[in-house]
Amino acid sequence: MGFTDQQTYGEPPYFAIIRRDGLAIMLSQLNVGQTVTPHWQVVEKMWNVYFWVDDAEALYAEFQASGATIDYTLYTTPYGVKEFGIQDLEDNDIGFGQILR
């Protein structure tokens, strides 16, 4: 997903902060035996995280070129947001939307 600034904490690492385009995401390792259920399995069509972006088309093209798993293709919603979604390696949905003006 293009995150280039990465900090990890602990040995072995159990917590990380990753950054891209002024956004920061904090990630924490689960303990052995713990599991997380992706949100879309609890609430239909719900993401685990959603980002507002300035250029959804460019980001969509970048993710396609990098081989990301596209969950749903780029489209314009009835409420004026150009959006798309991808899935991470653990089946979590990540949405991206650009408000059209």
Look up the CATH number of the domain holding residue 48: 3.30.720.110
Q: Two tokens at 24?
A: 């920061």
Q: How many domains does the chain have?
A: 2
Beta-carbon count within 10 A of 84 CB: 23
Q: How far apart are CA 74 and CA 77, in angstroms?
A: 10
Q: What is the pLDDT of residue 19?
A: 92
66, 85: one domain: yes
pLDDT-based confidence at 41, cuts 50/70/90? confident
Q: In percent, how much of the chain has pLDDT > 70?
A: 100
Helix (H) or strand (E) holding 58: helix 56-66
Q: How far apart are CA 26 and CA 41, in angstroms?
A: 22
Q: Give the pTM.
A: 0.78
pLDDT-based confidence at 80, cuts 50/70/90? very high
Boundaries of domain holding 99? 38-101
